[in-house]
Structure 1
């Protein structure tokens, strides 16, 4: 499986403010670029924190990209994946509509009633891990379901875990021309943080997009 992390941060590396509200960091050109990446993937992954904060839809915005996928014999939109250890995804979340398949990754500790509620709302439950979602197990399970290219759109806890497990193949990072600040504001890679064996990246390209910079890395 090829795992492509895509994110937008402020100059000081923040995904959002300490209030964890959605902030527009990039512009129209970058939004179009993200849509194009989505169109080439089999599934798009976010953490449950992103679902709770932003209620994203994670479908394609450009009708031409939808048509191109259908012409290739693919579903109109990539599948949607939520990393949700305790099955906290709201049953009325936008990602649970019938526009695309939605996988909810849970741990063995997720309550049975919450799993049942999500399944009744259209989710496909995938168990991976005991107390928390195990991303190596989850990636194997998704690959068995036909997901060969996975796009990851956050948040920081998910991205850190994927780097920690050595699963990231590619990183696209848009750095917007703004400062957010705040010791409690989420960063690109939250979690416990590394104290040794820091993941090493190889810078492939630098490009100006909107009023910011797009950095592309091989991992």
Structure 2
């Protein structure tokens, strides 16, 4: 499986405010780029924190891109994946609508009544790991179901966990002309953080987009 992490952050490295409120960091050109990335992917993944904070749909916006997917024999939207160790995803979340297939990655510790409820809401639950999602095992299971190219849209904790598990192949970051500040504001890679054996990146290219900069790296 090829895993592409894509994110937009402020000039000081924040994904949102300290209150976890979404901020318009990028502009129309970057939104279009992200939509194209979604259309090229077999699935789009977020952590449950992103679902709770933003309630994203994770679908392709552009009609022509959806049509090209249909003409290629694919669903018009990529599958949606939520990493949710104990199933906190609300049953009315937009990722559970009928616009695309949805998988919830959870742990064996997830309450079974919640598993049944979320399954009835239309998602397929994949349990991997005792107390938290074993991402390597979960992604291997998804790959066996035909998901070869995975786009990850955040948030910071799931991005860190994927780097920690050495599962990331590419990192694309739009850096916008905004300063958010706040030591409690989420960053690109939250979680415990690395103290050694830092992931190594190889710069692919840098482009001006909207009023910011798009930086793309390959993970060594």
Whether TM-score is above 0.5 comes out as yes
Instruction: Report what 1:19 is aligned to.
Output: 19
- Write the mapping of 1:181-200 to structure 2, written as runs, cut at 5 A: 181-200=181-200
- Structure 2 unaligned runs (5+)? none
Instruction: Report what 2:98 is aligned to.
Output: 98
Instruction: Report what 1:73 is aligned to.
Output: 73
What secondary structure sits across from 1:6 in the alignment? strand
What secondary structure sits across from 2:173 in the alignment? strand
Q: Distance in 2 between matches of 1:104 and 1:90?
A: 12
Question: Which segments of structure 1 move beyond 6 Å, counting only runs of 4 or more?
Answer: none
1:39 offset after TM fit, Å?
A: 0.4
Q: Distance in 2 between matches of 1:159 and 1:17?
A: 18
TM-score normalized by structure 2?
0.99
Question: What is the total number of aligned residue pairs between the two structures?
Answer: 219
- Write the mapping of 1:139-154 to structure 2, written as runs, cut at 5 A: 139-154=139-154
Q: Distance in 2 between matches of 1:128 and 1:12?
A: 35
Q: Distance in 2 between matches of 1:146 and 1:114?
A: 26
**For each residue in 1:119-177, what CA deviation from the matched residue of structure 2 results, as whole angstroms up to 9, or x when unmatched?**
00001000111100111011101001110000000000000000001100001100001
TM-score normalized by structure 1?
0.99
What secondary structure sits across from 2:46 in the alignment? strand
Instruction: Report what 1:59 is aligned to.
Output: 59
What secondary structure sits across from 2:67 in the alignment? helix
Provide the aligned C-alpha RMSD in A: 0.4
What secondary structure sits across from 1:188 in the alignment? coil
Q: Distance in 1 between matches of 2:129 and 2:29?
A: 38
Instruction: Report what 2:164 is aligned to.
Output: 164
Instruction: Report what 2:41 is aligned to.
Output: 41
Q: Distance in 2 between matches of 1:47 and 1:24?
A: 20
Instruction: Report what 2:132 is aligned to.
Output: 132
Instruction: Report what 2:30 is aligned to.
Output: 30
1:95 offset after TM fit, Å?
A: 0.6
- Structure 1 unaligned runs (5+)? none
Instruction: Report what 2:202 is aligned to.
Output: 202
1:32 offset after TM fit, Å?
A: 0.2
